[in-house]
Structure 1
Amino acid sequence: MTEANDPPETLIARLVALMDLEEIEVDLFRGGRTDEPWTRVFGGQVVGQALIAACRTVERPRLPHSLHAYFMRPGDPNLPIVYEVSRDRDGRSFSSRRVVAIQHGRPILNLACSFQIPEQGLEHQFDMPDVPPPEGLEDDRDIALRFREEIPLSRRAVMLRQRPMTFRPILPLARYEDEALPPFHSYWFKAVAPLPADQILHRGLLAYASDMMLLSTSILPHGLSWLRDDVQEASLDHALWVHGDIDLNDWLLYAMDSPRSSEARGFTRGQIFTRDGRLVASVAQEGLIRVRR
């Protein structure tokens, strides 16, 4: 089930251009704005662009392996975002950077990130969950098109938009039903067209994609969906650890769980696996959850 679409290559070119920041002064960068129908800037965009800004100040072969970000204010999707980078430290193996994202002269996000020269060491990991492969699952946008009349008008444009990454949920109807479910959710995702083999770009885009659907896992036990107009959700922070090289040209599994929700906040964790079961990234996030009475 499809509508008239831009070619996948066009969608990817727009996303790559969104991450290609303009250097306007030493350690000062400007990120372009997206044409997606957000009422506020998507958090993954700000995190991804901030990480790319930090990467522009670090020499190869050092690669980003962790970031911790706090969302401070909603971003204005009609304006570009300025990123100011502070070079805190360059050691023999690690580098540290801080980034402030600015709009209207005020910070909207603070991000700290760490870089490391690749090296070998001890290895272990959790097993990947046993889930169906992506080939037998329906694309999230096709599901939204099928349920379009049940999506509130205030959310319909966002749900039906074209995306440069395709998402295939393991629980395809979780967001459309009022049934209370355990706080576990997974989906496969990848780029809709080939991306250049640039590890900085792939890690920046992983930061972008890792904010998708994460917080909504924390409302599954309550029989709610963020598609409802009486549910308010907003990311408060975001943490990402990268354990190995990322390839968004192949399917990745995003397995999420929410150990706790309380005091109008939901806490969610995520693990990102390759198709062959290698754990390549971990994510944690806390967000605001309110049910309007």
Structure 2
Amino acid sequence: MKAPVQELLHLFDLEQLEDNLFRGQTQANGQRSVFGGLVAGQALLAASRTVPEERPVHSLHAYFLRPGDFNVPIVYDVERIRDGKSFTTRRVKAIQHGRPIFSLAASYQVIEEGASHQASMPEVPAPETLDTDQAIRMKLVERLPEQYRNDFLTERPVEFRPVTPLDPISSEPKAPVREVWFKVIDRVDASPVLHRALLAYCSDFGLMGTAMLPHGMNFWQANTQCASIDHAMWFHNDFRIDEWLLYRSDSPFAGGARGMNFGSIYRQDGTLVASVAQEGLIRQHRSDSPA
């Protein structure tokens, strides 16, 4: 197995401290705090460890409360809210330094048959015909401040292939729409529970940036402050995280220093597997501001 995938799976190998208490390791990735997708994925996995596998998660709703410290582990305290005949509810509090940094509520359901329809997948080129994000990053690295270059070029456990490559450093306004194929770069032989937790992890990549596109804002600008505020997901169908998935996101609104983003995730055969919603802080300070 490739080293980046081994490292990723190690992060999702939660240590059980008590019946409802788990501990997850953190990782520095060039950001000022723990990547929000990692906290969301670990919290979902902690909740799922207290639910029978025959009741898969169908939704989660989460709030990012404080920046995570990547120098210490995160403790996940799971509360068993309800175990009903059809639905199970869990609430998770992620704790560092004695304070909550993240909260999540997740709902699980026994598998049932029912009325079914879905939105059609956009017509886009197949992932095999597109450039990898690694190749795109290589073209941009010389324009980055030197302190960011190593992290920017580090091999990642998840490969992204954008349908329309965007310059992440450019300040040119663009339409608030992104379409990108992604998958984990090596086979993940694990239960659907872990695949769903890993999808929660992947769902945070690039989503908030969709609302920044019309305003010429990017994460590399010194006067731009960005942070996820909340995150919601609905799981619709089965999938594998190591097979190509299309992530289409759009932003219908930004205002009040916040940007709203919606996402749809499809299998390569066109099946809709998940829907995502997130609001993020996108605050731009004056160029002379000490912030």
Bin of the TM-score, shorter chain as denominator length: over 0.9
229 and 152 in structure 1: CA distance in 2 versus 1, 3 angstrom threshold: farther
What are structure 2's unaligned runs of at least 5 residues?
A: 287-291
| Partners of 2:259 and 2:55 in 1: CA distance | 34
Moved more, 276-285 or 153-162: 153-162
1:200 aligns with 2:193: yes
| Partners of 2:151 and 2:122 in 1: CA distance | 29
Per-residue deviation at 1:177?
Answer: 2.5
| Partners of 2:67 and 2:164 in 1: CA distance | 29
Work out whether residues 188 and 251 of structure 1, in 8 Å CA contact, stay in contact via their aligned partners in 2: yes
| Partners of 2:82 and 2:250 in 1: CA distance | 34
Moved more, 259-268 or 10-19: 10-19
| Partners of 1:123 and 1:180 in 2: CA distance | 38
1:220 aligns with 2:210: no
* Aligned mate of 1:253, from 246, 255, 260: 246
1:179 aligns with 2:172: yes
Give the secondary-structure state (helix, strand or coil) at the position aligned to 1:236.
Answer: strand
Give the secondary-structure state (helix, strand or coil) at the position aligned to 2:242.
Answer: coil
| Partners of 1:221 and 1:33 in 2: CA distance | 33
Moved more, 278-287 or 165-174: 165-174
Give the secondary-structure state (helix, strand or coil) at the position aligned to 2:2.
Answer: helix
* Aligned mate of 2:75, from 82, 90, 109: 82
**Runs of 4+ more than 3 Å apart:** 35-38, 153-158
Work out whether residues 152 and 229 of structure 1, in 8 Å CA contact, stay in contact via their aligned partners in 2: no
1:143 aligns with 2:151: no
1:120 aligns with 2:108: no
Moved more, 111-120 or 175-184: 175-184
- The RMSD of aligned alpha carbons is 1.3
Could you tell me which residue of structure 2 aligns to residue 241 of structure 1?
A: 234
| Partners of 1:164 and 1:87 in 2: CA distance | 32
Instruction: Name the % identity.
Output: 50
35 and 216 in structure 1: CA distance in 2 versus 1, 3 angstrom threshold: closer
Aligned-partner residue type, residue 229 of structure 1: A
| Partners of 2:101 and 2:176 in 1: CA distance | 29
Moved more, 44-53 or 165-174: 165-174
1:45 aligns with 2:38: yes
| Partners of 2:270 and 2:222 in 1: CA distance | 38
Work out whether residues 41 and 200 of structure 2, in 8 Å CA contact, stay in contact via their aligned partners in 1: yes
TM-score, length of structure 2 as denominator length: 0.95
Aligned-partner residue type, residue 133 of structure 1: A
* Aligned mate of 2:29, from 36, 51, 66: 36
Moved more, 198-207 or 126-135: 126-135
Work out whether residues 148 and 156 of structure 1, in 8 Å CA contact, stay in contact via their aligned partners in 2: yes
Moved more, 254-263 or 197-206: 197-206
**Deviation sequence 1:227-283 (CA, Å, 0-9, x none):** 222221100010010001121121000000000000000000000001011100000
Per-residue deviation at 1:169?
Answer: 1.2
Number of residues of Structure 1 aligned to a counterpart in Structure 2: 286
| Partners of 1:12 and 1:262 in 2: CA distance | 38
**Deviation sequence 1:59-81 (CA, Å, 0-9, x none):** 12111111000000000011100
TM-score, length of structure 1 as denominator length: 0.94
Work out whether residues 233 and 290 of structure 1, in 8 Å CA contact, stay in contact via their aligned partners in 2: yes
Give the secondary-structure state (helix, strand or coil) at the position aligned to 1:204.
Answer: helix
1:232 aligns with 2:225: yes
97 and 270 in structure 1: CA distance in 2 versus 1, 3 angstrom threshold: same
